[in-house]
């Protein structure tokens, strides 16, 4: 029988060993895990126990929009902890009420009432269940390149290969292709019916019975699976088809929301409003687990007369909601969305310069601080540098690029042949410059 040990016993080696022996890591063969013990972080940086510093160009799963250890956010959590750490979801509590009211004003269109969850997957679970109840229909349409979370229903919505391990999954999920204009799934030149949205959806509905489809769920901008921006008109085209058949449109902005793309919400770029918006991550930079499902006024009205069949012990957790309220205030006071836009323009122009020097760069796409760099063996044929192999994370030589960048102090991630560049929204121009210099060096591996 061991005891809980004193802090000073926890050297980096001790942490690494206990982590290896006792912690189950996500999406990994446990024997292959050798996780870096992290000692601390600040702003766009984190560091290990040996004092090596890393520029965080991933934002820890595209989550730390306000960066590491934002002092005002830490203080808000401490203040709430001193006031009231927990009260059940059945009570009215200030941080919960304040965050819901703030979201009603901040989110687009008539999105009004929010249900708070512990993260993105739970928000999506509740969104599809609610959509089925509101419409009294059973089918849900989602896309192949979606990632919507790892719980049972969210995994069924997810189209990427991680879904395979969870199949057969939720009945009634039908899949459509993504508007991946650089690499059209139907092999069409741009613009094509798939990438236009509505025509592709209409065609699917002919075979699925629109009267049975409760919702269409899309990541407004596809994050994990390749940073895919819909062409102008795509979301509006989905909106029109959904309206025609009484289908609810759900935007998953768990990754793309809260300033990530240089607007408060990614759908603001195109002025299209969903019936349900799901968020998490940047909502409070994940300092305490939090997600939200925010619904239209019409669904809000429906909820006043009908039962909401959902609940979580930690729904609207006061520490999470207090950090959400503080996070929104910080974002406004410090013009974080404006910074994301400005630094994003800088990043975009520096990446365009890199593309002139590196033949391995096939495509650079992004807005705000949500960029993808797609690597190819040949620009003319667009042959991916590593093929899509269903195994998830990047293979050689992309994995070598990621490792080499880390060795030089730049932390980033990749999905197959797409490097994802998603730093905290509080990053400055000098830090962007440093990241681009390191990228310039390591991209030589691919050229």
Q: Which is nearer to ligand PLP, 58 or 343 (CB)?
A: 58
Which parts of 274-303 interact with ligand PLP (CB under 6 A)?
A: 280, 291
Q: Which is nearer to ligand PLP, 254 or 330 (CB)?
A: 254
Measured in residues, the chain has a length of 447
360 contacts ligand PLP (rule: CB under 6 A): no
- Nearest 5°: phi and psi at 215? -155, 155
| Segment interacting with ligand PLP (CB under 6 A) among 95-103, 189-197, 218-226, 232-240 | 218-226
Q: Of 419, 418, 436, 439, which is closest to residue 427 (Cα–Cα)? A: 436
148 contacts ligand PLP (rule: CB under 6 A): yes
Residue number, nearest CB to ligand PLP: 120
125 contacts ligand PLP (rule: CB under 6 A): no
257 contacts ligand PLP (rule: CB under 6 A): no
CA distance 45 to 23: 24
Per DSSP, 312 falls in state: -
Q: Of 416, 396, 397, which is closest to residue 180 (Cα–Cα)? A: 416
223 contacts ligand PLP (rule: CB under 6 A): yes
Structure tokens at 390: 């269903």
Interface residue with ligand PLP, options 149, 159, 259, 384 (CB under 6 A): 149
| Segment interacting with ligand PLP (CB under 6 A) among 47-55, 104-112, 117-125, 205-213 | 117-125
DSSP letter string, 239-295: HHHHHHHT-EEEEE-TTTTTTTTSSSSGGGGTT---SEEEE-GGGTTTSS--EEEEE
Contact pattern from residue 58 through residue 87 relative to ligand PLP, giving x for each residue in contact according to CB under 6 A and a dash for the rest:
---x--------------------------
Per DSSP, 300 falls in state: H
| Size, binding site for ligand PLP by CB under 6 A | 16
Classify strands 383-384 and 276-279 as parallel, antiparallel or unpaired.
Answer: unpaired
Structure tokens at 83: 């006031």
Cα three-residue angle 49-323-12, rounded to 5 degrees: 10
Q: Which is nearer to ligand PLP, 135 or 220 (CB)?
A: 220
Q: Which is nearer to ligand PLP, 25 or 83 (CB)?
A: 25
For ligand PLP, the binding residues (CB under 6 A) are 61, 119-121, 124, 147-149, 219, 223-224, 252, 254-255, 280, 291
């Amino acid at each position: 029988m061991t005891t809980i040990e004193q802090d000073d016993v926890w050297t980096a080696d001790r942490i690494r060993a206990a982590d290896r022996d006792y912690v189950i890591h996500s999406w990994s063969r446990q024997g292959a895990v050798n996780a870096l013990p992290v000692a601390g972080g600040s702003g766009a940086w984190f560091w290990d126990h040996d004092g090596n510093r890393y520029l965080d160009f991933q934002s820890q799963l595209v989550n730390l929009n306000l960066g590491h250890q934002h002092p005002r956010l830490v203080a808000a959590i401490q203040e709430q902890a001193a006031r009231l750490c927990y009260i059940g979801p059945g009570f009215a509590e200030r941080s919960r009420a304040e965050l819901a009211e703030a979201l009603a004003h901040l989110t687009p269109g008539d999105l009004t009432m929010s249900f708070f969850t512990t993260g993105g997957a739970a928000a999506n679970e509740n969104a599809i269940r609610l959509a089925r109840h509101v419409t009294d229909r059973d089918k849900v349409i989602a896309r192949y390149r979606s990632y919507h979370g790892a719980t049972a229903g969210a995994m069924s919505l997810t189209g990427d290969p991680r879904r395979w391990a969870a199949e057969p999954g939720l009945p009634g999920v039908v899949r459509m292709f993504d508007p991946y204009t650089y690499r059209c799934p139907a092999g069409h030149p741009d613009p094509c019916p798939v990438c236009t949205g509505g025509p592709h959806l209409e065609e699917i509905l002919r075979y699925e019975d629109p009267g049975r489809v409760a919702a269409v769920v899309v990541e407004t901008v596809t994050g994990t699976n390749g940073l895919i921006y819909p062409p102008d008109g795509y979301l509006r085209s989905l909106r029109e088809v959904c309206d025609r058949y009484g289908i609810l449109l759900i935007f998953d902005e768990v990754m793309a929301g809260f300033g990530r793309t240089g607007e408060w919400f990614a759908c603001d770029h195109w002025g299209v409003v969903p019936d349900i918006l799901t968020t998490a991550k940047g909502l409070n930079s994940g300092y305490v687990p939090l997600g939200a499902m925010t619904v239209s006024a019409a669904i809000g009205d429906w909820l006043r007369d009908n039962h909401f069949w959902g609940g979580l012990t930690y729904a609207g957790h006061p520490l999470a909601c207090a950090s959400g309220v503080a996070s929104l205030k910080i974002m406004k006071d410090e013009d974080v969305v404006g910074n994301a836009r400005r630094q994003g323009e800088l990043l975009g122009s520096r990446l365009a310069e890199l593309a002139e020097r590196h033949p391995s760069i096939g495509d650079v796409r992004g807005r705000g601080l949500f960029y993808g760099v797609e690597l190819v063996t040949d620009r003319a044929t667009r042959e991916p540098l590593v093929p899509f192999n269903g195994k998830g994370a990047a293979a050689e030589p992309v994995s070598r690029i990621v490792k080499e960048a880390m060795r030089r102090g730049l932390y980033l991630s990749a999905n197959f042949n797409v490097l994802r560049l998603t730093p905290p929204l509080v990053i400055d121009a000098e830090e962007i410059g440093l990241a681009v210099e390191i990228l310039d060096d390591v991209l030589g591996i691919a050229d």
